[in-house]
Amino acid sequence: MEKYDIVVIGGGPGGYVAAIRASQLGLKVAVIEKDVVGGTCLNRGCIPTKAYLKHTELIHDLQKMDEFGIIVDGYAIDWEKMKDRKNKVVNKLTGGIRGLFKKNGVDLIKGTGKVLNENEIEISGKKTEKIWAENIIIATGSAPIKPGLKGMDLANVITSKEALDLDELPEQIVIIGGGVIGVEMASIYSSLEVEVTIVEILDNILINFDKEMADIVKKALIKQGVKILTSSKVTEIKEQKDKLVVKVDSEKAEQLTADKVLAAVGRKPVFTGLENLDLEKENGFIKVDSHMETSIPGIYAVGDVTGGMLLAHEASAEGIVAVKNITGDSELRDNLIPNAVYSLPEIASVGMTEEEAKKEGYEIKVGRFPFKAIGKAIAIGSEEGFVKIISDKKWDQILGVQIVGPHATDLIAEAVIAIKLEATSEVLADTIHAHPTLSESVKEAAEDVNNLAIHF
């Protein structure tokens, strides 16, 4: 049997990052991957949707070109060419990961791994083989959930995986779920002239985000032509001729017609190959400690399979924590994780919201600054949204930052550093930001915490 210091099961953002870091630290490492390296994020999630969302952004720019004095005499959508570009982006990145494995001496083993015990793993692929591991890192990820209601097994009821590679664009689509996946897919499809309806069981979309931000995105989606039904529940889907009929229980019972129904109600952990391990679970996910170690010594788990926010960057950070603890360089998992939604406008947040800070017992100060008062935002025609900073009233320490507006997902990085360094809003306000930039909105929001914003 080939012996390794670490065997990683799963080559997604948690697994491949852990493997490369372990190899950099001098360990002998193998990654078992049954599909393509990069996991859901790179192949069927973050990267493909961001490629499509760039197309969406360009279409929105085209629609307002006359405001900039540029006359565009119509445009056409080539779905096949869009898919081809998306695939090229994905293939370039998956090829990059394989190149990094080769450069760092990581063995990539194609096949499905089955953990036999704390050290032995059987791999079923072109041939069946066994390998031995001193330590195991489980990075098996998650899969889309299909709710258990009548009609979910129909051919035209899809998940986010199939939604990215449809043979042709539907005329109408119903999206079940108004979370991150549902909102991003609604942004993409509506820009491609598809009639979109979101059905959300709760009283608002993006329920895990600051309500002010969610309301701005909701308003923007409606402006783009998306129909949004909140406090509503899909009860049944049935076929009628060449269409789907979606029954919805809301304030008034209604039926929606669609070519496709997209289930975007969440994700579940993948435990394939782990059946022989008696791992402790928590809320249906593998339970780990702050070192990313499971209930079995020497076996670690990272990423979606452990729960949390189910984000690629969270998985990567956890993979590095697991490796450092294996090598004896004790490190704890960082709970300061930025969150992002790539809608139009974008949303990003880190730390506490106003409600969360109050629940934790803080007396807070809140600073807000709108993009409509930022020179760069006005110049580029993206004035929608704001930056909000929540600080502790006693010490002025920044507790949370929420951004909705242009490039929010990039601007949030400054806030992550500020909170990690336990900075005050005064420190952020006194930091000189280049002009004209969108980042000035963060500085001005920090100034507004103490009622000192100058430009609004």
Q: What is the per-residue pLDDT for 313?
A: 97
- How do residues 314-373 score in pLDDT, each as one tens digit? 999 999 999 999 999 888 999 999 999 999 999 999 999 999 999 999 999 999 999 999
| Interhelix angle 79-104/13-24, nearest 10 degrees | 30
Tokens 């489980």 identify what position? 138
Contact present, 33 and 61 (Cβ < 8 Å): no
- Compute CA distances 219 → 213, 227, 332, 385, whole Å: 10, 10, 40, 11
Reply yes or no on whether 435 is catalytic: yes
**Catalytic annotation, pick one of 291, 407, 433, 435:** 435
Instruction: Flag residues of the chain having pLDDT under 50.
Output: none
CA nearest neighbour of 188 among 221, 162, 219: 221
Q: What is the per-residue pLDDT for 35?
A: 93
Q: Give the C-alpha separation, 320 to 401, whole Å.
A: 25
Q: What is the per-residue pLDDT for 69?
A: 96
Positive or negative, the Cα torsion across 84, 190, 46, 148? Answer: negative
Q: What is the per-residue pLDDT for 250?
A: 87
Does the bond joining 436 to the residue before it have cis omega, within 30 degrees of 0? yes
Q: Is 357 helix (H, G, I), strand (E, B) or coil?
A: helix
- How do residues 260-272 score in pLDDT, each as one tens digit? 999 999 999 999 9
Contact present, 451 and 444 (Cβ < 8 Å): no
Q: What is the per-residue pLDDT for 254?
A: 87
Q: What is the per-residue pLDDT for 421?
A: 97
Averaged pLDDT score across all residues of the chain: 96
Q: What is the per-residue pLDDT for 252?
A: 79
Which domains, ranges and CATH numbers included, belong to the chain? Answer: 2-143+268-326 (3.50.50.60), 157-265 (3.50.50.60), 345-449 (3.30.390.30)
- How do residues 385-430 score in pLDDT, each as one tens digit? 999 999 999 999 999 999 999 999 999 999 999 999 999 999 999 9
